[in-house]
Structure 1
């Protein structure tokens, strides 16, 4: 397949629909001790034995800090409308009350280059790389961190203003809070039910505090939040309650306070002993209007009650899986989007801000035939099209990821990129999935001339 086939009547063919690629700072930049950057919680976490596969770290990663110009040229050559990336908080505010202009200027070069090439920029303020000096004061378990995040949002948006086309406050607060402070799988590696929910509330409070600041400093930009979401399905008829709870904790917990001004009752009741301290005006702050919601989708979950009444996920061992072991289930993306439109009367425009698959990709004679990923993207683009035809206001799609990179606790063992990276030489090679994406976008551009 040399390009993704879009139905002739698909809104994905219109020039108004945004196609892009996505990355994040710690996963690609490297240069962790250059340009005035200070350590993040991920620099610390990677040094702890057994936390990251092979003891990998982001010290060099894709060396994007030095190779950013060629990477932006590569992105432009794909024909995308937009580039979604994150700013590293440790590059901007190296200590309380100090602003590192060198860090701001690094991202300004990227933003200016994207605009010069006709691409919009979608910038995430927080993609999990909290400055270590804030973690030393409690991190997201400390309510004060929410206010520090607002200060950081002030610095970035005051400097860039409307030059950033689309601002995202947080990427996947579920992962930052629950994998980082509840289950200990991600930085900073803390275990605790109450801790996880406390961190989640402070993250959401930080989002709410930042929103009016972003609107004031960048009134012509769009502002929102990105959540990861896995639609849940019952293992049997008697397990519908397990699936309902899975969705409530997985993503309603983060979307309900933004769109409804309250946390979902299913979670409040089941986790009553672990609820965070919620002050009187907190939910009003979090309920600030948003211009869009970003949805990161990879797979679904199938849930049941076990013999103890606990909810567990049931692996679908007979289904096709990616190299990371995640079930490939495109219908889940359509179902998820339709469920969101049914749940939220005030659902704003939706971006599919991440979607992709890990593969066991090998470069053979200068080519990477990532056949499974090609099919994955084709089927998920079709799923987005079906959701739009069902009335869901999806306005854009970003492939994850632009290139192979540091994949958090998996280190460099998992390759999600459309572009292959040889980590020894830093050579970039377009995989078949990228070539198909490029050809699709070239065809669309011809149609819209």
Structure 2
């Protein structure tokens, strides 16, 4: 029998949505500052004072983590992503807070005891307030300060065999620092260089002690621009990425041109193009042939939990997205995992209005901060149990006309939904 090896996403490749298999890493993503509450002094505790909503105590993960980890475990997932907040564990130069570390010790022990593997993010856009006076990422010494703390974090938690994410969405990190006044625009190239240096050095540190530890960063996939954006960071760390972390949220095509909604806080009006996740995966499958791919973040926003203007509900959006993950895997892409963002609603960098959670939390109006399941909870549990949607599932949203997720290939090599 002749076997033809197809390039990832090549014409003529499979179109069935077969199961992703027993070894696929289903997970959820969270972030320290966005969910913990009880925030220590940091760049973001200061930025939050000028935001649409007062930060308050966020969703109080600090005191509800046992229950929240239980909610995640009940989904049947294998991975729980969290962050270790630098500002919490090192409140002063050269001084670490053992009680803060004890909190994370217990969180990670509970994750492991619940049968999940931690995915630890070292830097999710937050640094201690004392670094502000030193110039933040505009200061060349920031890299050494960063490494001093992160090495301690690695030493403490490597034994738990986590997946590592060094720096969350570097491009968005730089943009946030500029927009909030933490970095002069002229220092943008320097911050990218310092972030890349920090990643490469902590990668070496992790691998010196634990050669098999999986390490990555997660990129915020930006339609039509990813190849150019990669030159600022990804290309500088490409030799030190054990797997490729990808965050995908919004799409664009000729029939749904891009809007500014994701940038101005009305994310729920932005078009969701579920097949765009296929093109994003294909872009990186071709850029890094054979390298494992992991969707570190993906989800659907609503406005304070209200129905979306386009009528898309969370469960349907999740099923449609998972279909395209299965198509990507069937088409030869080395996709190993998927995290839903996020387990609960949280502080979306200035506002509690955008709701992404599998469990919704009304921070503005509910002082009990009750976790209420959305329709996506049973949907995700069923997906995890089955390894995906069924082989006969067909997405409810048709692919866009000439997607611009990865031009020109997403126009010249478009995906289609087969008829039953």
Q: TM-score range by the shorter chain?
A: 0.7 to 0.9
Matched, 1:421 2:361: yes
TM-score by length of 2: 0.80
8 Å contact kept, 1:123–1:164: no
> What is the 5 A alignment of 1:369-448?
372-409=313-350, 411-423=351-363, 424-444=367-387
- Structure 2 equivalent of residue 44 of structure 1: 46
The CA deviation string for residues 110-145 of structure 1, in whole angstroms up to 9 with x for no partner, is 111111111111000000111111122111111211
Matched, 1:24 2:31: yes
8 Å contact kept, 1:231–1:247: yes
Number of aligned residue pairs: give it.
364
Per-residue deviation at 1:405? 0.5
Gaps of 5+ in 1: 1-6, 33-37, 233-245, 260-286, 304-312, 365-369
Aligned equivalent of 2:171, options 174, 177, 190: 174
The CA deviation string for residues 261-295 of structure 1, in whole angstroms up to 9 with x for no partner, is xxxxxxxxxxxxxxxxxxxxxxxxxx4x3221210
Q: Within 2, Cα distance between the matches of 1:89 and 1:138?
A: 16
Matched, 1:163 2:160: yes
Q: Within 2, Cα distance between the matches of 1:137 and 1:296?
A: 31
> Cα distance 1:314–1:70, how it changes in 2: closer, same or farther (>3 A)?
closer
- Structure 2 equivalent of residue 309 of structure 1: none
> Cα distance 1:159–1:381, how it changes in 2: closer, same or farther (>3 A)?
same
> What is the 5 A alignment of 1:179-328?
179-181=176-178, 184=179, 187-192=180-185, 194-232=186-224, 246-259=225-238, 287=239, 289-301=240-252, 314-315=258-259, 323-328=267-272
8 Å contact kept, 2:244–2:293: yes
Per-residue deviation at 1:195? 2.0
> Cα distance 1:406–1:62, how it changes in 2: closer, same or farther (>3 A)?
same
| SS of aligned partner of 2:28 | strand
| SS of aligned partner of 1:123 | strand
The CA deviation string for residues 320-351 of structure 1, in whole angstroms up to 9 with x for no partner, is xx853321112221112112222234x52111
- Structure 2 equivalent of residue 83 of structure 1: 80
> Cα distance 1:44–1:252, how it changes in 2: closer, same or farther (>3 A)?
same
The CA deviation string for residues 166-214 of structure 1, in whole angstroms up to 9 with x for no partner, is 1111110111112322xx1xx455452x222221221111111111111
> Cα distance 1:125–1:188, how it changes in 2: closer, same or farther (>3 A)?
farther
- Structure 2 equivalent of residue 266 of structure 1: none
TM-score by length of 1: 0.75
8 Å contact kept, 1:227–1:294: yes
> Cα distance 1:374–1:9, how it changes in 2: closer, same or farther (>3 A)?
closer
8 Å contact kept, 1:371–1:432: no
8 Å contact kept, 1:153–1:213: no
Aligned equivalent of 2:113, options 110, 113, 116: 116
| SS of aligned partner of 2:313 | helix
Q: Within 2, Cα distance between the matches of 1:46 and 1:11?
A: 42
> Cα distance 1:164–1:88, how it changes in 2: closer, same or farther (>3 A)?
farther
